[in-house]
A and B are shown apart, each in its own frame.
Chain A
Amino acid sequence: MSNGNNDNQKVRSVHTARHARTPLYRPHDFQWRNLSDRCAKCKRCVTQCGFKAISWQDNRPVTDSTKCVGCHRCEAFCPQEAIVIEPNAQYLKPHPLWTEAHRKNLWLQAETGGVLLTGMGNDLPYPVLWDHLLLDACQVTNPSIDPLREPMELRTFLGRKPDMVELEWGESGPRLATTVAPQLQLETPIYFAAMSYGAISLTAQKSLAMAAEELGTMWNTGEGGLHEDLQPYAHRAFVQCASGRFGVTSDYLNSGAALEIKIGQGAKPGIGGHLPGEKVSPDVSETRMIPVGSDAISPAPQHDIYSIEDLRQLIYALKEATNYEKPVSVKVAAVHNIAAIASGITRAGADIIYLDGFRGGTGAAPTVIRDHLGLPIEIALAVVDERLRAERIRNQVSVIAAGGIRSSADAAKAIALGADAVAMGTSALLALGCTLCQRCYTGRCSWGITTQDPALTRRLDPYVGSQRLINLVRAWSAELEEILGAMGVNAVESLRGSRERLRAVGLDEQTARILGVKPAGIGA
């Protein structure tokens, strides 16, 4: 007997009987065209499509447009530029309320009776507050600093800082007398967000791990355990403990540089996760320590955490298990009461709070949750930083901002609003080839990122992938140095929480006040 459910191996579902599939009219999203005069008939488009949308018939490629997700893999690998992917031109009469997206979603639900799924981050046009914030710069009265000439400091330490620092004076000079909690040293205030093996491929995760090591920053296992191939990079990893406790053992906890309790995720606050059985390959099964093909279900809450006191209990269970040698991060989705929650997390003993805004990505989430729950990271970050300062506990915890950080500008503004560092998830996947088709949940990613099919995952070479990530983070870091220099400071520490150096354009008074930022036009 191996797992006690031998008589239940047959794949069945308790929900199957409820929904009779009733297809009617549902226009597809894309139109795929092959320019036959250019086509070299190499069939590469057929093999490149992870969604099996293209077949070879009568000596030409033929597409099932209902299967095309618009990921552009075929187009990118067509040697003849013979492929054009366009929006489906079938004209639906426009309606400002009943948008095309609403109608298509409704039709799909009428057809299937199911909860709509999606991947990546929120794609609705909510206001992006980053784009209403401008940074200050030096002119005449305060000189800017040239980063080509002067050293610029991006090094960042994450972890609990002491309330005061005491020095002892010996014969060889001063010595630190205060015991400092464990710290993570990052060479740049940018690291990679949690993405589990299972949600993403091992080649994608290895790309992140290799890049983090080379950059002197961090990656995060997510909740899928630590694959043995990535052990050599564990000293640069947050190892996560989430509600499913997949792959969480004493060895796992002790192998990471830091621990993270995942309470929530910006893309799906308040709900758990179901890694579908199709993605639980033998290798994923080994890393998660669950049977092959079984759904990996993460319950919505961690059932040993129903309160701040319970959170404290798990934080200290992790610290005890690792001899108080590693910082403990708590990842939460940005929600309406986030300031009070962050205060509780700090008082519960966390060393790092990871705030994930509502635009954060996901491998799979119900669309309705992704698109309508949570809070912008800009707001969450501002109110958390403000609250922790007001309570005089800001030094006790490092604050990470994540969930839609698109550029070094977003990163700089986040740091000015109060973040110690930012984390990138979607940006990192874009660097690996993602085109934001949002079909991660299908497990068929043509770019080899969010799939476990070996034919697809091997398309992503971790050496190439990690180099692209290294390039991206180095470029952002260089831009951060430019921004710091223009602002007349030579260390990222001097920008941290410096809201006086931010101004709001086109924001209402209330929002600007919540952000703690003056309107543009008001000087010092």
Chain B
Amino acid sequence: MRIDAADLHYSELNRRIREAVATGETSFELVNVNGQRYLADGLSAKAEFDIHGVPGNDLGAFMDGPTIRVHANAQDAVSNTMNAGRIIVHGHAGDVLGYGMRGGELFVRGRVGYRVGIHMKAYKENFPVLIAGGTAGDFLGEYMAGGLLIVLGLDRRPGEPLVGNWCATGMHGGVLYLRGEVDPVRVAGQFVSVRPAGEDDLKLIHPYLTSYCEAFSLSVEEVLAEPFSRIAPLSHRPFGAKYAT
């Protein structure tokens, strides 16, 4: 189903999508999208979306199954509290990606903004994966409680930092892999350990990187040619001794 989103308010666009999903439609091509928020918000159907134009904030919020391809940049809060499904962004994406994300995958080809992957969490079969192709801003993986967060730093300008400041503050679960060296000043060392990724680590991330590279026609060998750093929490109870008892 093709929907021309030009001049459509998000509530009307989303209403049409919900109604079509209710009648069994599983394939959507949205064209002329221009900042409409909440696309696929809360959808639990196995639908596929191709989005042309820049979707607005909260793309795939509370989403529980669909696959979305964005053939441009995306804005803030993609995959907010997402439970399952896959979102592929061919351009850059904004701030607060994957907040409270519990499952599914978010692959961004370009750079990502601030507050990415805050409080991502895993539970049983729910295992969220967020991979950013470029660099990331401040507060990456803050309060991270589960899942997998990878920053590749592809196409980095000389001297451009891989991640911003206060990376992994309050992290108490999950694991973060950064392609390249990590400046320890940027990482909240009282919460996490940082070390070079080993064989087991590469084995763990290989299938995810393979599907990431497939999505963007990249060579997984080239991506893996650089060494990775691994950031993991020291404790899943980081505040256990903060209080007087």
Interface positions, chain A 1-47, Cβ under 8 Å from B, are 1-5, 7-9, 11-16, 18-19
Asked if A316 and B126 sit within 8 Å, CB to CB, the answer is no
9 extra interface residue pairs, beta carbon distance < 8 Å, beyond A114-B244, A291-B146, A294-B237: A112-B244, A115-B244, A244-B119, A253-B62, A295-B172, A297-B170, A299-B119, A299-B170, A304-B80
Asked if B121 and A289 sit within 8 Å, CB to CB, the answer is yes
Please, which residues of chain B bring their CB within 8 A of the CB of A316?
A: 37-38
- Give the docked Cα–Cα distance between A2 and B204 (Å): 12
Please, which residues of chain A bring their CB within 8 A of the CB of B190?
A: 14
Please, which residues of chain A bring their CB within 8 A of the CB of B234?
A: 8, 12, 14
- Give the docked Cα–Cα distance between A250 and B119 (Å): 18
Shortest distance from the beta carbon of A86 to any chain B beta carbon, whole Å: 24
Q: Does A248 contact B (CB under 8 A)?
A: yes
- Give the docked Cα–Cα distance between A12 and B81 (Å): 28
Please, which residues of chain A bring their CB within 8 A of the CB of B74?
A: none
A313 interface neighbour in B37, B143, B170, Cβ under 8 Å: B37
Please, which residues of chain A bring their CB within 8 A of the CB of B175?
A: 4-5
Q: Which residues of B contact A (CB under 8 A)?
A: 10-11, 14, 18, 37-38, 41-44, 57-58, 61-64, 76-77, 80-81, 83, 96, 99-100, 102, 115, 118-119, 121-124, 126-127, 139, 142-143, 145-148, 170, 172-175, 190-191, 204, 232-245
Asked if A295 and B96 sit within 8 Å, CB to CB, the answer is no
- Kindly report which residue of chain B lies nearest to residue A109, judged by CB atoms: B244
Q: Does A430 contact B (CB under 8 A)?
A: no
Q: Which one of A317-325, A374-382, A417-425 is at the interface?
A: A317-325
Chain A 384-408, CB-CB to B under 8 Å as 1, else 0, gives 0000000000000000000000000
Please, which residues of chain A bring their CB within 8 A of the CB of B174?
A: 3-5
Looking at B145, B147, B170, B238, the one whose CB has the most chain A CB atoms below 10 A away is: B145
Would A250 and B11 be within 8 Å (CB), given that A8-B236, A295-B237, A320-B38 are in contact?
no
Asked if A250 and B146 sit within 8 Å, CB to CB, the answer is no
| Chain A interface category by residue count | 35 or more
Shortest distance from the beta carbon of B239 to any chain A beta carbon, whole Å: 5
Q: Does A182 contact B (CB under 8 A)?
A: no
> Interface of chain B, helix or strand or loop or mixed?
loop
Would A276 and B80 be within 8 Å (CB), given that A317-B58, A320-B14 are in contact?
no
Asked if A303 and B244 sit within 8 Å, CB to CB, the answer is no
Q: Does A508 contact B (CB under 8 A)?
A: no
Asked if A115 and B127 sit within 8 Å, CB to CB, the answer is no
Asked if A320 and B243 sit within 8 Å, CB to CB, the answer is no
- Give the docked Cα–Cα distance between A294 and B237 (Å): 6
Would A277 and B236 be within 8 Å (CB), given that A115-B242, A313-B57, A317-B61 are in contact?
yes
B233 interface neighbour in A5, A291, A442, Cβ under 8 Å: A5
The 10 A-B pairs at the shortest CB distance, nearest first, are namely A321-B42, A245-B100, A114-B244, A13-B240, A3-B122, A15-B241, A112-B244, A289-B123, A13-B241, A250-B42
Asked if A243 and B121 sit within 8 Å, CB to CB, the answer is no
Please, which residues of chain B bring their CB within 8 A of the CB of A115?
A: 242-244
Looking at B18, B38, B62, B115, the one whose CB has the most chain A CB atoms below 10 A away is: B62
Asked if A5 and B243 sit within 8 Å, CB to CB, the answer is no
Please, which residues of chain B bring their CB within 8 A of the CB of A109?
A: 244
- Kindly report which residue of chain A lies nearest to residue B76, judged by CB atoms: A304
Asked if A5 and B232 sit within 8 Å, CB to CB, the answer is yes
Asked if B204 and A1 sit within 8 Å, CB to CB, the answer is yes
Can you list 15 contacts pairing A with B, beta carbon distance less than 8 Å?
A: A3-B127, A11-B236, A14-B191, A15-B242, A114-B241, A116-B244, A243-B119, A289-B121, A294-B173, A299-B143, A303-B118, A303-B142, A316-B38, A320-B41, A320-B42
Please, which residues of chain A bring their CB within 8 A of the CB of B118?
A: 299, 303
Asked if A304 and B77 sit within 8 Å, CB to CB, the answer is yes
Asked if B100 and A112 sit within 8 Å, CB to CB, the answer is no
Please, which residues of chain B bring their CB within 8 A of the CB of A320?
A: 10-11, 14, 37-38, 41-42, 61
